[in-house]
Amino acid sequence: MNSQEQTLYYRLGGAEVLRQVVESMYDRILTDPLLKGFFEGVDMDKQRKMQSEFLAAALGGPEKYGGLDLAYAHSGKGITTVHLTAFVGHLLDVLEERGVDENDIQGVISRINTYANDITGASTSDG
Ligand code: HEM
């Protein structure tokens, strides 16, 4: 239920903490040989901002995500489950490093995983 998700957003520390988490996450992603190539030429200030906004909204915060539809933003990039797993792994590492409670980490990861098919295009059937 929604109040559960809001509790998660606030338990993590709200917008400022999520901003820091996203910052550290992309620091790692941009040094990961498997992932960094996807972000070549991407405006990373904007990327961090959109991702922070997206995560805040997805975890039940008051923010409204005003960016592109996720399936549209990731289509045609060749992103596979292997890339997605590595990407989410960096998020997990950052949360663990910050000492976030294990249940809350699982809560974040399972929420993020609901978007997996949008990212990899697994659920689309292009004609
Ligand atoms: C569940 C995991 C993910 C979430 C929640 C997510 C979220 C987002 C968001 C919110 C944007 C911004 C869209 C906009 O500009 O309006 C974005 C863009 C982007 N994402 Fe992801 N993403 C995820 C996984 C990945 C993965 C695994 C990759 C590649 C390995 C990736 C590569 C990109 C790239 C390259 C862009 C920039 C597109 C551009 O500006 O040209 N994302 N993502």
pLDDT, tens digit, for every residue of 4-19? 555 789 999 999 999 9
Encoding tokens for residue 29?
A: 């992603």
- Pocket (CB within 6 angstroms of ligand 1): 35, 38-39, 42, 47, 50-51, 54, 67-68, 70, 73-74, 79, 83-84, 87, 112, 115, 119
Question: Over the stretch 92-118, which tens digit does the pLDDT of each residue have?
Answer: 999 999 999 999 999 999 999 999 999
Residue among 74, 79, 111 to mutate when testing ligand 1 (max atoms within 8 A of CB): 74
pTM to 2 decimal places: 0.93
- d(Cα 7, Cα 104) in Å, to the nearest integer? 10
Encoding tokens for residue 100?
A: 């976030």
Angle at 64 between CA 113 and CA 15, to 5 degrees: 75
For the chain, which domains are there? 2-120 (1.10.490.10)
Q: How far is the CA of 99 from the centre of ligand 1 (A)?
A: 25
